[in-house]
């Protein structure tokens, strides 16, 4: 990776990935793109182009203009929004991915796109979900993710594009909010803990899903992209996870730092159903063996950092 085009650069992952890549590879070598510009650091600290990922012609033009050798395609609708607008989700998630793969093929670039725990479904083994297993998702997002994994494999086999991907769990971060995802509760709970010392969860008690703190997710992306290609058996996509938690577990961790924190429930049947169709915990062995995946943050370490960073962000004081 030397000159990188990122789509969805102002989203939850992109906002932080853009900045990390600019530190490593140089500001001018990371071209951030998104459907709209805003005043965030990722948008104003270096090259930025407005790009709608459904416009394949313009994506190729931008890639050629900056002579990129890497395409990181992050723009996508998340699971809950995709359930509300399935046709739009198909067009954006699959159309955008196809355009990004075609761009990578045209300019001979390395390629990354995230898959998700959402690629699994209710018939997948729930605990210690293996790398290679049943994938019959029951959401539009999941259908897009499985099809996307296959499409990225196809571009590698058919055209030799160096495609790579990760099946991300819910990603927790304090910089940019996710939006329209099922795992978003695990981000909101920290914001609400800092602001109001209480949170009403739309995901029910006892519903376990995998999660990971954003710094570990960024490391995983960069390590995978830098990994020796010949060692990668599972290119698209690797299971990766740092923790398997339910709302009670996160609340218990928060309570260690904010003793008065209160968790209550108002379950959203749509997102609850999606969550129940996903694994409880992924097995990351293939990622560990093939390119050395590791993570630094467990639940308590993440909680401590999230609460510190969000308190700074809102300049509030935590006290029981």
Shortest gap between Cβ of 168 and ligand SER (angstroms)? 6
What does the DSSP 8-state code read for residue 123? Answer: T
Cα angle for residues 155, 159, 161 (degrees, 5° grid): 65
Establish if 137 lies at the interface with ligand SER (CB under 6 A): no
Q: How far is the CB of 184 from ligand SER (least distance, A)?
A: 6
Residue of 66, 141, 199, 213 marked catalytic: 141
Nearest CB to ligand SER, comparing residues 46 and 169: 169
- How far apart CA 306 and CA 197 sit, in angstroms, is 14
Q: Is 141 among the residues known to form the active site?
A: yes
Residue showing the smallest CB distance to ligand SER in the complex:
181
- 79 touches ligand SER (CB under 6 A): yes
| 109 HSE (CA, 13 A, CB side) | 28
Contact 252, 187 (CB under 8 A): no
Give the shortest CB-271-to-ligand SER separation in angstroms. Answer: 8
Q: By C-alpha distance, which of 218, 305, 178, 208 is closest to 254?
A: 305
Are 81 and 144 a contacting pair, CB within 8 Å?
A: no
Query: In 3D, which of 178, 176, 151, 175 has the Cα closest to residue 165?
Result: 151
- What is d(CA 150, CA 4) in angstroms, rounded to the nearest whole number? 23
Per CB under 6 A, 182 contacts ligand SER: yes
284 touches ligand SER by CB under 6 A: no
Min dist CB 178 to ligand SER, Å, is 6
* Residue 94: Cβ-neighbour burial (10 angstroms; 0-12, 13-18, 19+): middle
- Choices 68-76, 153-161, 177-185, 290-298 (CB under 6 A): range interacting with ligand SER: 177-185
Q: Which of 29, 33, 93, 116 binds ligand SER (CB under 6 A)?
A: 116
With contacts defined by CB under 6 A, name the span among 44-52, 55-63, 66-74, 178-186 that binds ligand SER: 178-186
- Active-site residue set: 141
> What is the binding site for ligand SER (CB under 6 A)?
78-79, 116-118, 141, 168, 170, 181-183
């Amino acid at each position: 990776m030397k000159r990188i085009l990122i789509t969805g650069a102002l989203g939850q992952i992109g906002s932080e990935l853009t900045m990390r890549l600019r530190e490593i590879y140089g500001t001018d070598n990371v071209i951030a793109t998104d459907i709209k510009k805003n005043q965030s650091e990722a948008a104003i600290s270096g090259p930025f182009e407005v790009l709608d990922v459904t416009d394949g012609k313009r994506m190729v033009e931008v890639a050629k203009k900056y002579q990129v050798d890497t395409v990181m395609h992050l723009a996508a609708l998340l699971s809950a929004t995709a359930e509300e607008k399935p046709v739009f989700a198909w067009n954006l998630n699959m159309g955008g991915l196809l355009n990004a793969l075609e761009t990578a093929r045209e300019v001979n670039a390395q390629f990354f796109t995230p898959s998700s725990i959402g690629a699994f479904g209710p018939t997948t083994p729930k605990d210690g979900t293996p790398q290679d297993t049943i994938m019959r998702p029951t959401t539009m997002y999941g259908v897009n993710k499985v099809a996307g994994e296959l499409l990225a494999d196809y571009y590698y086999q058919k055209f030799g594009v160096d495609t790579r991907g990760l099946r991300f769990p819910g990603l927790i971060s304090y910089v940019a909010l996710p939006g329209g995802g099922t795992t978003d509760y695990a981000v909101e709970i920290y914001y609400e803990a800092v602001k109001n010392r209480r949170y009403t969860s739309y995901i029910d008690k006892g519903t376990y899903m995998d999660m990971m703190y954003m710094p570990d997710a960024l490391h995983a992306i960069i390590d995978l992209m830098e990994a020796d290609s010949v060692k990668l058996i599972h290119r698209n996509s690797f299971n990766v996870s740092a923790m398997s938690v339910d709302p009670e577990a996160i609340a218990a961790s928060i309570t260690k730092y904010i003793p008065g924190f209160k968790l209550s429930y108002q379950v959203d049947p749509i997102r609850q159903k999606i969550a129940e169709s996903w694994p409880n915990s992924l097995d990351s062995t293939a990622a560990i063996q093939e390119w050395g995946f590791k993570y630094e943050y467990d639940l308590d370490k993440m909680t401590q950092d999230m609460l510190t960073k969000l308190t700074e962000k809102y300049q509030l004081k935590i006290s029981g």
